[in-house]
């Protein structure tokens, strides 16, 4: 990826900065009294006096009047500087000092131009910062996708739509927090550095603490610390924070993602399913999100409530002709899958759980477009979920799937320490057999469980995936400010 530096622009900017210093003006002042955000100005009546500031993104000198567009995170507005109002010397100074990319503070009043555009007439102006490098050409948005991710600030400057998307993400997280608060949940913070990689089935990142001289794992889930807080007496808790999984990177997977988890004592998975749907209804209502959303690839998703609830096991049987509950060991299920002509990477070395999970992902999940709750899963697929009272071979779990993406995973929690230890051991056996993605045993958690736990239901939700879907995006990198990319190669000065 090539980056072009406009050396003439930089040289002219440095000359302007030197001149400003000679004139006794600090080209990078410490503050400005910005009274109103730009996006709010368009709502004001004509003649209203305003005091605002922003970056110049368009500049047009047409003689004794200069028009410019300035913007901040909230919007963009036109300003007009007139020689007969500012005076000849100030107007001349403005023209030779400001350029696109620079920051300006203004005091003025609103009027309408002959073309009908609401504009601020500049009565006073203040130099607030010089840009050395050229801005994205013509402010039409950056076409180079990699450049957007590597230099997100340029994408934000050039594209108001990008800014709107990230403002929406902030609003979404705020409303999620509001909904939890309204339902008597307490927000908590738990460790990022863990002694064991557990709480989910994923490959962890390993790091080292020099002071203690021990290896640690970046958390792949908030789950186990949360459930120990329930042991300690909290009834309803939630956390929004980063989780890290050292696995494939694609449009729906990132190595670090923003994760929401909550746990509620005395709930089961059906209570949690009802709560999840109510939370989404709240979000759609408060943020005025349309229930039908067209994705970038043309797929239309209908979020109309209520959402269907489908038995996971029966769905796989319907779509593949395989009843995964009839299999108790890997080889027989592997043979059944191959007989159906289904193949996926690693099939010959997978455990029973790996085979069932990949069969679902390969054949079933991608075809689920509209929001669908899937419930009831084989016990071997979820080491931390509670067994169903009527059938010990399944667990009381559900997932919310939209456009082939798993948005939510939740279940009635396993609170029996003996059963939990046995399932941890089964995961350890799978790892010994060569399975990469398994859940490690956590003896401290088993000890906490042994002090007694009430009935619990917990939930995990991917904030990045949810944001992308609600914005119609198909790539998670578009809703994350700074997605992880490979390092750039060393380049010459002009590349």
Q: Residue ranges of the domains in the chain?
A: 7-135, 160-308+370-479
Q: Please list the residues that pair with 413 across neighbouring strands.
A: 385
The share of the chain scoring above pLDDT 70, in percent, equals 94
CATH superfamily for domain 7-135:
Nucleic acid-binding proteins (2.40.50.140)
Quick: pLDDT tens for 69-96: 999 999 999 999 999 999 999 999 999 9
State both tokens at 203: 């490959």
Question: What is the rounded distance in angstroms from the CA atom of residue 462 to the CA atom of residue 467?
Answer: 9
pLDDT score recorded for residue 435: 59
Quick: pLDDT tens for 364-407: 999 999 999 999 999 988 888 899 999 999 999 999 999 999 99
- Torsion angle (degrees, nearest 10) of CA 191, 197, 198, 203: 120
pLDDT score recorded for residue 173: 98
DSSP state letter for 489:
P
Cβ 355 vs Cβ 332: under 8 Å:
no
More confident: 319 or 248? 319
pLDDT score recorded for residue 169: 98
Residue 255 burial (CB < 10 Å; 0-12/13-18/19+)? Answer: middle
Quick: pLDDT tens for 420-448: 888 888 877 766 666 565 667 788 889 99
Domain 160-308+370-479 belongs to what topology? BirA Bifunctional Protein; domain 2 (3.30.930)
Question: What is the rounded distance in angstroms from the CA atom of residue 55 to the CA atom of residue 113?
Answer: 21
Cβ 98 vs Cβ 86: under 8 Å:
no
How many residues comprise the chain? 495
State both tokens at 396: 């009381």
State both tokens at 342: 């289904």
- pTM of the predicted structure, to 2 decimals: 0.89
The stretch 260-285 carries a mean pLDDT of 98
Question: What is the rounded distance in angstroms from the CA atom of residue 405 to the CA atom of residue 344?
Answer: 18
State both tokens at 463: 């904030």
432-437 own/partner pairs: CB under 8 Å, 24+ apart: 433/351, 434/349, 435/349, 435/350, 435/351, 435/354, 436/203, 437/201, 437/202, 437/203, 437/247, 437/354
Give the angle subtended at the CA of 321 by the CAs of 317 and 323, to the nearest 5°: 50
Pairing mode, strands 236-244 and 186-187: parallel
pLDDT score recorded for residue 491: 42
pLDDT score recorded for residue 197: 79
State both tokens at 334: 């592997």
The stretch 128-137 carries a mean pLDDT of 87
Give Cα 284 distance to the centre of its chain: 17
Confidence grade of residue 220 (pLDDT, cut at 50, 70, 90): very high
pLDDT score recorded for residue 487: 87
**Lowest mean pLDDT across 17-26, 302-311, 396-405, 415-424:** 415-424
pLDDT score recorded for residue 144: 81
In the sheet that 214-218 helps form, which strands lie side by side, from edge to edge?
193-194, 214-218, 206-209
Residues 6+ apart with CB under 8 A from 62: none
Asked whether the domain spanning 160-308+370-479 has the same topology as the one spanning 7-135, the reply is no
Q: Please list the residues that pair with 206 across neighbouring strands.
A: 217
pLDDT score recorded for residue 6: 66
Q: What secondary structure does DSSP assign to 415-441, as a single string?
A: --HHHHHHHHHHHHHHHHTT-SS-PPP
The stretch 470-489 carries a mean pLDDT of 93
Nearest to 137 by CA among 38, 13, 9: 9
Confidence grade of residue 269 (pLDDT, cut at 50, 70, 90): very high
Which alpha helices (H) appear in 132-268, and where do they start and end? 145-150, 152-158, 160-182, 223-232
The stretch 283-303 carries a mean pLDDT of 97
């Amino acid at each position: 990826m090539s980056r072009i530096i406009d050396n003439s622009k930089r040289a002219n900017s440095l000359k302007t900065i030197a001149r400003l210093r000679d004139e006794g003006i600090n080209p990078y002042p410490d503050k400005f009294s910005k009274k109103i955000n730009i996006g709010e100005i368009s709502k004001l009546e004509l003649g209203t006096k305003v005091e605002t500031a922003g970056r110049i993104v368009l500049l047009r000198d047409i003689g004794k009047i200069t028009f410019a567009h300035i913007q901040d995170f909230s919007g963009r507005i036109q300003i007009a500087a007139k020689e007969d109002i500012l005076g000849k010397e100030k107007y001349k100074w403005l023209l030779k000092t400001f350029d696109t990319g620079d920051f300006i503070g203004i005091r003025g009043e609103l009027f309408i131009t002959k073309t009908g555009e609401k504009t601020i007439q500049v009565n006073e102006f203040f130099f607030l910062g010089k840009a050395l490098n050229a801005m994205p050409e013509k402010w039409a948005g950056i076409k180079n996708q990699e450049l957007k991710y590597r230099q997100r600030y340029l994408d934000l400057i050039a594209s108001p739509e990008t800014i709107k998307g990230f403002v929406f993400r902030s609003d979404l997280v705020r409303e999620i927090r509001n909904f939890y608060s309204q339902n008597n949940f307490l927000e908590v913070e738990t460790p990022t550095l863990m002694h064991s990689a557990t709480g989910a089935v994923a490959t962890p990142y390993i790091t080292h603490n020099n002071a203690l001289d021990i290896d640690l794992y970046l958390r792949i889930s908030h789950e186990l610390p949360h459930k120990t807080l329930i042991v300690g007496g909290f009834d309803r808790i939630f956390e929004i924070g980063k989780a890290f999984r050292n696995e494939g990177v694609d449009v729906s997977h990132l190595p670090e993602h923003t994760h929401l988890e909550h746990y509620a004592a005395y709930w089961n998975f059906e209570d949690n399913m009802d709560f999840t749907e109510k939370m989404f209804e709240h979000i759609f209502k408060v943020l005025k999100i349309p229930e039908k959303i067209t994705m970038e690839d043309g797929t239309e998703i209908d979020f109309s409530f209520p959402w269907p609830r489908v038995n996971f096991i029966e769905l796989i049987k319907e779509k593949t002709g395989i009843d995964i509950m009839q299999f108790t060991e890997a080889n027989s299920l592997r043979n059944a899958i191959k007989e159906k002509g289904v193949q996926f990477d690693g099939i010959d070395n997978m455990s029973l759980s790996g085979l069932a999970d990949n069969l679902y992902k390969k054949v079933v999940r991608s075809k689920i477009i509209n929001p669908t709750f899937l419930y009831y899963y084989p016990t071997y697929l979820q080491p931390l979920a509670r067994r169903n009272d009527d059938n010990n071979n399944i667990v009381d779990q559900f997932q919310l799937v939209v456009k082939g993406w798993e948005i939510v995973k939740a279940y009635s929690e396993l609170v029996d320490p003996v059963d939990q230890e046995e399932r941890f051991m089964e995961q350890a056996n799978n790892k010994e057999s060569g399975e990469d993605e398994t859940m490690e045993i956590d003896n401290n958690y088993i000890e906490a469980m042994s002090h007694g736990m009430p009935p619990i239901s917990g939930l995990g939700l991917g904030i990045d995936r949810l944001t992308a879907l609600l914005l119609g995006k198909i790539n998670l990198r578009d809703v994350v400010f700074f997605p992880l990319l490979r390092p750039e190669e060393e380049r010459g000065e002009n590349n």
